[in-house]
Amino acid sequence: MTATTFLGYRRADGRVGVRNHVLVVPTVICSAVVSERIAAAIDGVGTALPHLAGCGQLGPDMHVTHDTLAAYCRHPNVGAVLVVALGCEQVVAQRLLDEARRHDKPAAVVAIQTEGGTVRATETGIAIAREMAATLSSARREACDLASLILCVKCGGSDYTSGLASNPAVGRVADRLVDAGGSVVLGEVAEIMGAEHLLAARAASPAAAAQLVRIVSRVEAEAMALGLDIRGTQPSPGNIRGGLTTIEEKSLGATHKAGERTRLEDVVGYSAPITSHGLTVMDTPGLDVESVTGMVGGGAQVVMFTTGLGTPTGNPIAPVIKITGNPRTAQTMADNTDLDVSGIITDGEPLDGAADRLFASLVDVCSGQLTAAERLGHREFAIHRRNPTI
Amino acid sequence: MNAMIVISAHDNVATALEPLEPGTTISAGGMTLAIGDRIPRGHKVALRPIARGEVVVKYGSTIGTAVSDIAAGAHVHTHNVESGRGRGDQARAGLPEAGA
């Protein structure tokens, strides 16, 4: 019998979290180290967003940084927010504070220049974050409908097993979650190139289909404008060693993970709110960490990440479930692997049987079970940059 | 476990699930194939002759274009197949895109 609920944290804004973090947000690279030290002092729930931006940015690049940090401040996996500012940067600490408070989360700011240096700012920040953690510890998980979930599907370090086993198995989980009223987000526009006709044919509206084709064409044009062969990065050297020949082949295998029946409802920008039930495509680059960072920013509470060659990527606030269809990787990268679906290839395990296991794991993880990436402290975070640093 | 898998009936390549050796004969999906090259695990083998300029089909969709004649049983990879997408190098050289 398939579960219809999981144990989550109901938020005041109506959304549901699968984790309850104290999030320590540096406004700028200059406050990243202090943020990480504060978060490290808060066992279990403290997590930071160290990043390289926040100043020296103009126009769209600045907006993406602001929007991404704000998206994490309102995220349902976050229970409380401590913003760590330097004091002279572009990112506005007050805006991040306001965003958290608008979503009824306890929030505060520590500014390094105001506090008087690293030591004082770290001490003040730890004291505030400990109070927040104490408050959050009284929150209880309760039964929540699967319809409240937004699942990010992602692949990285792909090989021939990704398109044969792990991606189609995750695709069946995506189909079932959408059947249950939930949502799925797919990113990595470059890895839709060559398969966009299949997703566009499943679009809920002509507008969504046109928007998908438009962003894939834009990414292709950007690669063309460099006057270079996209094969320098797509497929990656490891993909090619693994047997993938062209970006079209990689994309056809990769898009399986978004399901076979899901309808493309919407196409949104990087870190923009995911508001449609069903399948949303987010305009993210193919680089794993930037891609996951954006989709979690959009509101995804949990990530299913397939890999052929193995990869450690996690996220500061969302659990990342690592799934491989390669039996050798399941052995050699056992530390990083949550689920082995290689039996689909080696033992004839039915895709639906593998999907049953994946779905049960999704419910367990959303109810609090830690993933391999969480146990290992993998909290990779990178905001997509579109322009040079000024 | 089969030694190779054919994903769609429209495909002209199969994926090797084990390393395949030249001179061996493999059966899968109701057909028998004489292997001409060493095919590493996870790599593709031609199910029938694919002429230069013909599209290579996997998952029932085009994955690229053959840039040389490929014999049945031969290794199909970057040495004899080119992508038609994102080829800024070809645009700069003023060449037509593969498959265009």
* Both structure tokens of A119: 């030591």
Residue in chain B lying closest to A344 (CA): B1
pTM attached to this predicted model: 0.94
pLDDT at A315: 98
Cβ pair B63:A252 closer than 8 A:
yes
Q: Examine the domain organization and report whether A66 and A194 are in the same domain.
A: no
Specify which residues A208 forms β-bridges with: none
Q: Examine the domain organization and report whether A43 and A180 are in the same domain.
A: no
Q: Examine the domain organization and report whether A127 and A161 are in the same domain.
A: no
Q: Which CATH number do you get for residue B45? A: 2.30.130.110
pLDDT at A374: 98
A28-56 mean pLDDT: 95
Domain interval for residue B55: 4-93
A121-134 mean pLDDT: 98
Q: Tell me, what's the ipTM?
A: 0.90
Helix (H, G, I), strand (E, B) or coil at A389: coil
Whether A179 contacts chain B with CB within 8 A: no
CA A67/CA A96 separation, integer angstroms: 9
* Both structure tokens of A184: 């799925």
Question: Measured between beta carbons, which residues in chain B are less than 8 angstroms from residue A242?
Answer: 42
Question: Measured between beta carbons, which residues in chain A are less than 8 angstroms from residue B1?
Answer: 345-348
Domain finish residue from A115, A136, A157:
A136
Q: Which of A243, A247, A253 sits opposite B83 (nearest CB)?
A: A247
Domain interval for residue A250: 145-375
**How does residue B99 score in pLDDT terms, banded at 50, 70 and 90?**
very low
Please write the tens of the pLDDT for every residue from B21-49.
999 999 876 778 999 999 999 999 999 99
CA B66/CA B58 separation, integer angstroms: 13
Q: Examine the domain organization and report whether A121 and A152 are in the same domain.
A: no
How many domains does one find in chain B? 1
Cβ pair A160:B83 closer than 8 A:
no
In this model, does residue A388 exceed pLDDT 90?
Answer: no
- One DSSP character per residue, A75-98 reads -TTEEEEEEEE-SSSSS-HHHHHH
Share of chain B above pLDDT 90, in %: 75
The reply to whether A263 falls in a domain is: yes
CA A220/CA A57 separation, integer angstroms: 25
Q: Examine the domain organization and report whether A65 and A158 are in the same domain.
A: no
Residue A267's alpha-carbon distances to A17, A64, A218, A301, A384, in angstroms, are 23, 17, 14, 18, 17
The reply to whether B59 falls in a domain is: yes
Question: Measured between beta carbons, which residues in chain B are less than 8 angstroms from residue A328?
Answer: none
A244-266 mean pLDDT: 95
- In degrees, rounded to 5, the angle at the alpha carbon of residue A62 between the alpha carbons of residues A112 and A210 is 150
Whether B67 contacts chain A with CB within 8 A: no
Contact (Cβ atoms closer than 8 angstroms) between residue A314 and residue A342: no
Q: How far is A246 from chain B (nearest CA, A)?
A: 5
Contact (Cβ atoms closer than 8 angstroms) between residue A49 and residue A72: yes
Interface test with A, best of B4, B59, B67, B70 (most A CBs within 10 A): B59
Helix (H, G, I), strand (E, B) or coil at A1: coil
CA A87/CA A332 separation, integer angstroms: 46
CA A296/CA A277 separation, integer angstroms: 16
Cβ pair A164:B86 closer than 8 A:
no
Q: Which CATH number do you get for residue A42? A: 3.40.50
SS3 content of chain B, % helix, strand, coil (to 5): 5, 35, 60
pLDDT at A222: 87
